[in-house]
Amino acid sequence: MGNTEAAYKLFDEMESQKIVPDFVAYTALICGLSQTGKMVEAERLFNEMLKKELEPDEVTYTAFIDGYCKSGEMKKAFSLHNQMVQIGLTPNVVTYTALADGLCKCGELDTANELLHEMCRKGLQLNICTYNSIVNGLCKAGNILQAIRLMEEMQEAGMYPDTITYTTLMDAYCKTGEMVKAHGLLREILDKGLQPTVVTFNVLMNGFCLSGMLEEGERLLKWMLEKGIMPNATTYNSIMKQYCVRNNMRTTTEIYRDMCAQGVIPDSNT
């Protein structure tokens, strides 16, 4: 049983025993339901709170808004934001980050950018999640130069890109075949003392392979193993797929054997 199901069960037990759930219980369950995308149930509980005159706070509204943003229901998310403001609650950086992320996922980058500047005007201290959401949206839309400018703005504001920021930009470069720039970002990550994840390496590996740079891909794999960075099935799949495309089954088989020798379990794509 998941955390949300367990909370729901406890909630029902409280009501069956005539124990009236309080504000904390409602907020906790609304948070859990919103995080798992169960917005109909979350909305029912939210309305139930209002009927019982249990006033939702910033945490309740933000969780609810985040749920709608994740499900792409931006009209409902902004309606809640407006309602929140009307009753005198102040949206915080988490609220705005949820809205910005939702807008980016819906492709409404100009609105997300306006929201970012609105946050700055209100004196809110932006966090790395806010910036990463918009950088991700810009990169997915192919606006790499705008994403780089935003990263520069981050640094001017005293907020420095993290591994997620760099990996997002790296992925954009890989998709446009700019592998020199993509590889350069890995060096920049390391030079800045950041810790690349296996996702970072998989992005670069996939870029090398799709660009036909299989030798570079093999060198990257070897470097990972030398540095004690364990590849996963996705890492190996990228390079094996391209050798299969070239009908080089001998090398594919060798890499597969190396993969198994490293204790990496093949997945359905392998």
Regarding whether 172 and 110 lie in a shared domain, the answer is: no
**Amino acid symbol at 12:** D
Please give the Cα distance from 114 to 105 (Å, whole number).
15
* Secondary structure in 3-state letters for the chain: CCHHHHHHHHHHHHHHCCCCCCHHHHHHHHHHHHHCCCHHHHHHHHHHHHHCCCCCCHHHHHHHHHHHHHCCCHHHHHHHHHHHHHCCCCCCHHHHHHHHHHHHHCCCHHHHHHHHHHHHHCCCCCCHHHHHHHHHHHHHCCCHHHHHHHHHHHHHCCCCCCHHHHHHHHHHHHHCCCHHHHHHHHHHHHHCCCCCCHHHHHHHHHHHHHCCCHHHHHHHHHHHHHCCCCCCHHHHHHHHHHHHHCCCHHHHHHHHHHHHHCCCCCCCCC
When pLDDT is averaged across residues 158-163 and rounded to a whole number, the result is: 93
Residue 76 belongs to what domain range? 1-120
Mean pLDDT of the chain: 89
Q: Quick one: pLDDT at residue 20?
A: 65
Percent of the chain with pLDDT over 90: 59
Among 23-27, 84-88, 100-104, 263-267, where is mean pLDDT lowest? 23-27
Instruction: Report the share of the chain in percent with pLDDT over 70.
Output: 92
pLDDT tens digits along 50-77: 888 888 899 999 999 999 999 999 999 9
pLDDT tier for residue 15 given thresholds of 50, 70 and 90: low
pLDDT at 119: 87
CA distances from 33 to 22, 50, 70, 82 (A): 17, 17, 12, 21
pLDDT digits (tens, 9 = 90+) for 223-248: 999 988 999 999 999 999 999 999 99
Domain-embedded: residue 137: no
Which residue, 69, 100, 120, sits at the end of a domain?
A: 120
Whether 11 has a pLDDT exceeding 80, the answer reads no
**Which pLDDT band, with edges at 50, 70 and 90, does 170 fall under?**
very high
7 shares a domain with 77:
yes
Q: Output the CA torsion 198→204→206→210 (10° steps).
A: 180
The verdict on residue 132 lying in a domain is no
In a domain, 126, yes or no: no
What is the tally of structural domains in the chain? 2
Q: Is the pTM of this model over 0.85?
A: no
| Residues 69 and 116 reside in one and the same domain | yes
Average pLDDT over residues 95-113: 90
Nearest to 91 by CA among 160, 151, 100: 100
Is residue 224 situated within a structural domain? yes
Query: Can you read off the two tokens belonging to residue 210?
Result: 């799709």
- pLDDT score for 22: 76
**Could you tell me the CATH number of the domain that includes residue 269?**
1.25.40.10
Residue 130 lies in a domain: no
pLDDT higher than 50, residue 1: no
Q: Which amino acid is at 157?
A: A
Q: Tell me if 240 is assigned to some domain.
A: yes
